[in-house]
Amino acid sequence: MNEYSFPDNLVSPAPRTLSLAITNRCNLNCHYCYAPKNSYSLPAEFIKSIATKFDKLGTLELSIGGGEPFLYPGLVDLILWLWGNTGLGINITTNGLLINEKIVSKIAGNVSSIRFSIDGLEPKYSIVKRNSLSNVVYNIKLLKNIIPFGINIIVNPYAIVDVENIIKLGIEIGAFDVLLIPEHKNGIFQLNSQDWKNLEGMVTKYLNKIQINITYDASNYLSTNYLETEVKKEFSFIHISADRKIKKHSYDKHGIYIENIFDIENYLKYFNHN
């Protein structure tokens, strides 16, 4: 199949994954977080329209984040609408503090997965988040055997031991995978050469115990086997921020303001070739 070239009119212009920061509001204030600190949110009708458009263009997955998405008014109803009216897989990234049994029961069967951001165990977690990790773990366990869940780990400099402890926690509570996200500022990784070496050893140690993913750009720093979150030469990801700007990456400070949803294909062609 890789020796056959398809005509351009038969190739989808859409990325594999559409990421939406539906709100910038958050109930935490992590010092390393690069997300904007303001009250911008995407209107529900805009979210429905944009998801429907990307679905028709061939996108496979909608990744909902923020901010903290569970602060978004009417999120549950929005999820139910998206699941029932598009063919998109839906995953949600959350800090997990606002999830409860009622929410789990309503969205069960209507999302593909939920991802929990955990960057350290106690006492580090409480110091950074000003909340108890035990509350998050309790909420995560509400999903067991009901909704698939994974863990996102921000890999901070000189804190590889935290990664190992969180991976162990993920194995213990039944996460189907962990995603390693090395800390960066404006797209520049903050890990030094020893950090990368230690991280590679950690990945090798636990590969046979839990699925370990790593962001595509970070994979260039590791030689061990791993599962990438993107595929080389594939238009795999686009992000729309809470202020309605379409971007190649969530940490892009610029982007293009979406005046008209009907212009999405032109935006996608631009990002696909730049």
> What percent of the chain lies above the pLDDT cut of 70?
90
Residue 103 pLDDT > 50:
yes
pLDDT score recorded for residue 231 = 52
pLDDT score recorded for residue 251 = 79
Comparing 110-119, 120-129, 145-154, 210-219, which segment has the lowest mean pLDDT?
A: 210-219
Q: How confident is the model at residue 85 (pLDDT cuts 50, 70, 90)?
A: very high
240/42 Cα distance (integer angstroms): 9
105/143 Cα distance (integer angstroms): 9
Burial of 149 (0-12, 13-18, 19+ CB in 10 A): buried
191/198 Cα distance (integer angstroms): 10
54/18 Cα distance (integer angstroms): 8
Residue 68 pLDDT > 80:
yes
Tell me which of 258 and 182 has the higher pLDDT.
258
What integer is the mean pLDDT of 91-114?
97
Residue 1 pLDDT > 50:
no
pLDDT score recorded for residue 232 = 53
pLDDT score recorded for residue 218 = 78
Residue 7 pLDDT > 70:
no
In the chain the domains, ranked by start, together with CATH numbers, are: 8-272 (3.20.20.70)
pLDDT score recorded for residue 233 = 55
Comparing 60-74, 124-138, 210-224, which segment has the lowest mean pLDDT?
A: 210-224
22/75 Cα distance (integer angstroms): 9
Whole-number average pLDDT of the chain: 87
What integer is the mean pLDDT of 248-271?
87
**What does pTM read for this prediction?**
0.88
108/87 Cα distance (integer angstroms): 17
